Amino acid sequence: MPQHKFIVCNYQHSLTSGIVSWQAPSNIALVKYWGKYGEQMPMNASVSFTLKHCNTKTSVSFEKKQSEGFQFEVFLDGKREEGFEPKINKFFERVEAYLPFLKDFKFKIETSNSFPHSSGIASSASGMSALALCLMEMEQRMQPSITDDYFKEKASFLARLGSGSACRSVEGPLIVWGEHPEIDGSSNLFGTKYPFDIHENFRNYQDTILLVDKGEKQVSSTLGHDLMVDHPFAAERFRQAKDNLSKLIPVFKNGDLPEFIKIVESEALSLHAMMMTSLPYFILMKPNTLEIINRIWKFRDETGSKVCFTLDAGANVHVLYPKLEKDNVLHFIKKELLQYCKNGEFIEDEVGLGATNILV
């Protein structure tokens, strides 16, 4: 069912050629999205911190054409990347109803990530968000009356159709995606800014990403989401995620870090528990992931630190902590945790405010 709110009829202006450029961040979920229905709709609401330094820059050059069908080429770091093209083609097919001009142009899509492609950090969230924003900027040039709110909402809506979690990569610092009864304005169709008070404990919250395993993902998230369809614990998992988001509302308000840690770590382990108990089952954590988790727990016990971890659908560990603890925790990470990273590699990141237009 098309979402009519996002269909613009009869553009005011036409374009012949030009270029649009956006930088969009990655995000890290605190309450995880795992399981979807229909066209990229989440089975439960999720919430994420937007990151600051892990991002994708994308430029789209466009030129009017007469031929039929989609026409585009994708370049990663200046090199043609045909491997990305089927995914973009699928994305174009999905969003064409909302961007009816896509077949009228030939596109050159040039993209680069601030993190290495082989780092095991998914570029789909930042990449799909940056591309969606570029296409929205084209639309805004054709329809200048589009408001800022509509622009961001529709960019998130389009990004979602490329990769679910990408809809949380348009704005920051804290983004909700998926309907939740206690969060006004939350929607399955796009990400929205968390609307309530956020305690200053969470300002500039740190995320140091430990690169444990840089290999290709063993399991695509598409397959992972599908495995939730007949998963024996699915209903309970979706209820748990909803409750965890409810529990985070007072935590975000009063800055209760011990409670924050409990919820965030439980979410990470529940996500991986879903993978371990699906059919087929799989384990994405590596022995070094567990070493790191145990060391974080020990450090917390011994020092009273409020450091904690979360995980994506992979072996890398996101180490989360308040800015106030930065020196201490970085010292601990360097001394005790880097030995468990591939080539001692890690990325220092923190909470950011969302995508930005790049003027070219």
Region from 11-19, 30-38, 282-290, 344-352 binding ligand PMV, contact rule CB under 6 A:
30-38
Q: How far is the CB of 58 from ligand PMV (least distance, A)?
A: 17
| Nearest distance from C-beta of residue 255 to ligand PMV, angstroms | 23
Instruction: Indicate whether 221 belongs to the interface with ligand PMV (CB under 6 A).
Output: yes
Residue pair 238/289 in contact by the 8 Å Cβ criterion: no
The C-alpha angle with vertex 40 and arms to 193 and 38, in degrees rounded to 5, equals: 130
Q: Does 265 bind ligand PMV (CB under 6 A)?
A: no
Q: Give the range of 27-35, 70-78, 131-139, 192-200 binding ligand PMV by CB under 6 A.
A: 27-35
The nearest distance, CB 257 to ligand PMV, in angstroms, is 21
285 scored as a contact of ligand PMV (CB under 6 A): no
Helix axes 85-95, 148-162, angle to 10 degrees: 130
Query: Which residue is associated with the tokens 């800055």?
Result: 255
Contact between 46 and ligand PMV per CB under 6 A: yes
Contact between 120 and ligand PMV per CB under 6 A:
no
ω into 144 cis (within 30 of 0): no
User: Is 32 a binder of ligand PMV (CB under 6 A)?
Assistant: yes
Q: Which of 161, 159, 157 is nearest to 125 (CA)?
A: 159
**127, 164, 178, 191: which one contacts ligand PMV (CB under 6 A)?**
164
Q: How far apart are CA 344 and CA 334, in angstroms?
A: 9
Closest to ligand PMV by CB, 25 or 164 = 164
Neighbour-count burial for 55-80, b at 16+ CB within 10 Å, e otherwise: bbbbbbbbeeeeeeebebbbebeeee
Residues 303-332 that bind ligand PMV (CB under 6 A): 312-313
User: What is the closest distance, in whole angstroms, from the C-beta atom of residue 163 to ligand PMV in the complex?
Assistant: 4
Least distance to ligand PMV, CB of residue 186, Å = 14
Give the ranges where the chain is alpha helix by DSSP (H): 85-95, 124-142, 148-162, 221-226, 234-254, 257-276, 287-303, 326-332
Minimal distance in Å, beta carbon 34 to ligand PMV?
6
Contact between 124 and ligand PMV per CB under 6 A: yes
Residue with tokens 């395993």, as numbered in its chain: 213
Residue number, 276 or 324, with CB nearest to ligand PMV = 276
Count of alpha carbons within 13 angstroms of residue 221, beta-carbon side: 21
At 100, which amino acid appears? Answer: P
Binding residues (CB under 6 A) for ligand PMV: these are 29, 32-34, 46, 124, 163-165, 221, 271, 312-313
